[in-house]
Structure formats: structure tokens, C-alpha cells
């Protein structure tokens, strides 16, 4: 077993606080995605949602 395995975020999988840090990173990415979506004009979001 390799204790230095990393996930796609570059975090060590076997670290004691892995799940906490990973959850914070995922939450941060979700907020960033929502901010980006809010920048798209409302009409484009409406059309994209209809597809």
C-alpha cells in the first residue's frame, strides 16, 4: 500500500484530515461554479435550461 497516494486535488488519501479538506475544496468549487453561472445572461441560462 502506497501511503503517498494522491487524489485529483493533490491531497494525500491516507491523511487524517483528508475528508475535511476535500469537502472544503469541493464546496469552494461549487461556489465558484455558481458565481460563474450568475455571470451568464438570464436569457442564455433560460435557453440552456430548456434544452
Q: What is the pTM of this model?
A: 0.56
pLDDT, tens digit, 9 for 90 and up, residues 4-49: 788 888 888 888 888 899 899 889 888 887 777 777 777 787 788 8
Query: What's the pLDDT score for residue 2?
Result: 62
Query: What's the pLDDT score for residue 20?
Result: 92
Q: Residue 40 — φ and ψ, nearest 5°?
A: -75, 135
Q: Residue 6 — φ and ψ, nearest 5°?
A: -120, 150
Q: Are 21 and 11 in contact (CB under 8 A)?
A: yes
Amino acid at each position: 500500500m502506497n501511503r503517498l497516494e494522491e487524489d485529483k486535488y493533490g491531497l494525500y488519501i491516507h491523511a487524517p484530515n483528508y475528508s475535511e479538506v476535500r469537502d472544503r475544496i469541493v464546496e469552494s468549487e461549487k461556489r465558484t461554479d455558481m458565481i460563474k453561472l450568475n455571470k451568464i445572461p438570464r436569457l442564455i441560462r433560460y435557453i440552456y435550461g430548456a434544452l
